[in-house]
Chains A and B, each alone.
Chain A
Amino acid sequence: MRWLGAFLVLSGAAFLLGDYHNDVYRKMLLWVTLALGYNFLFGICGQVSFSHFAFYGIGAYSVVILLFQLHVPLPLAILLGVAVCIVVALAVAIPATRLEGFYLALATLALAQLFVVLLNEGGDITGGTGGIANYRLPAMLGLQIRGPWYTGVIVFLLLLTLWVLVKLDRSWFGRACRAVRDNPEAAAAMGIDVARTRVAAFTLTSALAGVAGMVYAFVDNTVNPPIFGLENAFLLLFMVIVGGSGRHAGAVIGAVLLFLLPFWLSPLVGHHHVLVFGVLMLAAILLQPKGLIGLWDQCRHRFSR
């Protein structure tokens, strides 16, 4: 019931916004979706990965290539797109997570870089440096979903992602993920298969990022290499840390704040907003490792006394 209410409110808001603000709103929702998944991987399972945003791109490109280059029907294209994400995630995670954390960071950084190189060098398949543009979401059951109605699809995706992650977090699997993050040796001594838990969390969150990417592909109706560069991979990490890693609410706050901040800051400082991000990030790490959500907890604690 609460979920339905959230869906109605969040999608209803799209109808009140103009075209421009609706576009900003949708991208914010997508960032929140990504940050939620990345928070599970980084904040709850403790894996420092830089490929989360690349999987967003893999999902987006997969669905576009399958639909418009290979002419696969939409439902099949979605399933195949998810399959591509899962296969790539397993290929990276299985060798990397068997090693210590640092190697996962390196392997995922390499994947993120390689992905952009492949996009640029992909010739007709990926559209090279220009990417692929001017396509449209195929009609489903004779319906063409567009405008604010498509925002409803994004809200559905966000809530579905949140629901899956909350369920997982509250299950023994989520507890195992936290145990692996806090102390892998002790987790193993309690019967937790550390490598398998890490691979499962990595693959699952990567697939969720891929699905978000598929939805993103029809927001601007264009996919091109610069969108999926490393800058955004780091931004995602910043969002989770500034908001408060390990907490769903923290991921939401961090994503909303860091996504909207440039819109407010640009008129004041131009492109130097990146500097502000840097300062925020340092402040979070040095002064408030639990992020903004930790700050909120402290305030609430103080007032409830």
Chain B
Amino acid sequence: MQASILEVRGLSKRFGGLTAVSELAFEVREGEILGMIGPNGAGKSTTFNLIAGTYPASSGEIVFKEASILGLAPHQIARRGILRTFQHNRPFEGMPVIDNVLVGAHRLFTKNSHAEEAVRRSRAEELIEFVGLGGLAAADVGTLSFGQGRLLEIARALAGEPRLILFDEPAAGLAPAELDRLAEIIRGIAARGIAVLLIEHDMHFLLPLAHRVVVLNFGAKIADGLPDEIRRDPAVMDAYLGSHAAHS
């Protein structure tokens, strides 16, 4: 079994009286695709934001590469090698595609040399090719379709050479043909040895893709295991389809 790269233990988040995430524990291993699913309001997005540093946790521990990242700001977490995509595309509108991708490489710049810039630039071009935006490096981001914008999010996150990449509902809003392409890209990322944490609402997209799955409901983990085990788990069926469907 691969060593774990991210470990979450006893993680809780309360917003006032509401507990969004409660005593959550899971791990992401090197090179694996860990899927996290759950119905709306299950606490997936909150968990995502706790790991990315958008919100501070109420209690618990988040350990990345054997060091705690709890309480760090988003940019500090990114610098340690956890990069993310946004569910609602957040491009840098005033820059062409290639510069958007180069911003992703920000954490890697050590000096201000032409040589370094040239290396990063050719690397960014490879990534643009890898996600399937070949030929659009110089394009204005405003001209991209929604689906292309999602691919740009991925290229930008990859440019920072992450050890762990966080996907926030990457399938949301994409057409079926785009979903197949997206799944292929995510498999390709894992094949490069990058750990993937994939938060997704769409079970049909996630289950064939993930190596392991964690299921949340009402802020707590209700199941984890291999995709096949999750498919057969009555608690998961119950959470997704409602108790009537499960009992009838």
Residues of B within 8 A of A190 (CB): 75, 78, 83, 103-104, 106-107, 156-157, 160
For residue B116, give the distance in angstroms from its CB to the closest CB of chain A.
9
User: In the complex, how many residue pairs between chain A and chain B have their CB atoms under 8 Å apart?
Assistant: 78
Is B86 in contact with chain A by the CB < 8 A criterion?
yes
3 nearest A-B residue pairs (beta carbon) = A191-B107, A191-B78, A182-B92
Interface size class of B (residues with CB under 8 A): 20 to 34
Whole-angstrom CA separation of A185 from B85 in the bound complex: 11
In the bound complex, do residue A183 and residue B106 qualify as a contact, i.e. CB atoms below 8 Å apart? Answer: no
For residue A66, give the distance in angstroms from its CB to the closest CB of chain B.
33
In the bound complex, do residue A189 and residue B84 qualify as a contact, i.e. CB atoms below 8 Å apart? Answer: yes
In the bound complex, do residue A189 and residue B92 qualify as a contact, i.e. CB atoms below 8 Å apart? Answer: no
- Chain B CB count within 10 A is highest, among A185, A186, A194, A246, for A186
Is B73 in contact with chain A by the CB < 8 A criterion?
yes
Residues of A within 8 A of B83 (CB): 189-191
Per-residue contact bits, chain B 70-98, to A (CB 8 Å; 1 contact, 0 not): 00011100110001101000111111000
For residue A185, give the distance in angstroms from its CB to the closest CB of chain B.
7
Whole-angstrom CA separation of A182 from B100 in the bound complex: 10
Contact A191:B95 (CB < 8 A) given known A176-B103, A186-B90: no
Contact A192:B75 (CB < 8 A) given known A172-B112, A175-B106, A186-B86: yes
Residues of B within 8 A of A185 (CB): 74, 86, 90
> CB within 8 Å of B: which of A156-215?
171-173, 175-176, 178-179, 181-183, 185-194
Whole-angstrom CA separation of A183 from B74 in the bound complex: 14
For residue A41, give the distance in angstroms from its CB to the closest CB of chain B.
15
Is B197 in contact with chain A by the CB < 8 A criterion?
no
Is B7 in contact with chain A by the CB < 8 A criterion?
no
A residues near B (Cβ < 8 Å) are 171-173, 175-176, 178-179, 181-183, 185-194, 246
The residue that B92 contacts in the complex, of A171, A186, A194, with Cβ under 8 A, is A186
Please give 18 more A-B residue pairs, beta carbons under 8 A apart, in addition to A178-B99, A192-B75. Answer: A171-B112, A172-B102, A172-B106, A172-B117, A175-B95, A175-B106, A179-B103, A181-B94, A183-B93, A187-B75, A187-B92, A188-B74, A190-B106, A190-B107, A191-B78, A191-B107, A192-B106, A193-B73
In the bound complex, do residue B75 and residue A175 qualify as a contact, i.e. CB atoms below 8 Å apart? Answer: no
Is B11 in contact with chain A by the CB < 8 A criterion?
no
Shortest Cβ distance from B141 into A: residue: A182
Residues of B within 8 A of A172 (CB): 102, 106, 109, 112, 117
Is B52 in contact with chain A by the CB < 8 A criterion?
yes
> CB within 8 Å of A: which of B218-242?
none
The residue that B103 contacts in the complex, of A192, A193, A194, A246, with Cβ under 8 A, is A192
In the bound complex, do residue A182 and residue B86 qualify as a contact, i.e. CB atoms below 8 Å apart? Answer: no
Shortest Cβ distance from B99 into A: residue: A175
For residue B162, give the distance in angstroms from its CB to the closest CB of chain A.
10
In the bound complex, do residue B78 and residue A188 qualify as a contact, i.e. CB atoms below 8 Å apart? Answer: yes
The residue that A182 contacts in the complex, of B84, B93, B157, with Cβ under 8 A, is B93
Residues of A within 8 A of B73 (CB): 188, 193
Whole-angstrom CA separation of A172 from B90 in the bound complex: 19
Residues of A within 8 A of B106 (CB): 172, 175-176, 179, 190-192
Whole-angstrom CA separation of A185 from B79 in the bound complex: 15
For residue B192, give the distance in angstroms from its CB to the closest CB of chain A.
19
In the bound complex, do residue A193 and residue B93 qualify as a contact, i.e. CB atoms below 8 Å apart? Answer: no
For residue B38, give the distance in angstroms from its CB to the closest CB of chain A.
23
Shortest Cβ distance from A171 into B: residue: B112
For residue B232, give the distance in angstroms from its CB to the closest CB of chain A.
36
Whole-angstrom CA separation of A194 from B78 in the bound complex: 13
Residues of B within 8 A of A193 (CB): 73, 75
For residue B123, give the distance in angstroms from its CB to the closest CB of chain A.
14
Q: List 24 A-B contacts (CB under 8 A).
A: A172-B106, A172-B112, A175-B95, A175-B103, A176-B103, A176-B106, A178-B92, A179-B95, A181-B94, A183-B92, A185-B86, A186-B90, A187-B92, A188-B78, A189-B74, A189-B83, A189-B84, A190-B75, A190-B103, A190-B106, A191-B75, A191-B79, A191-B160, A192-B103
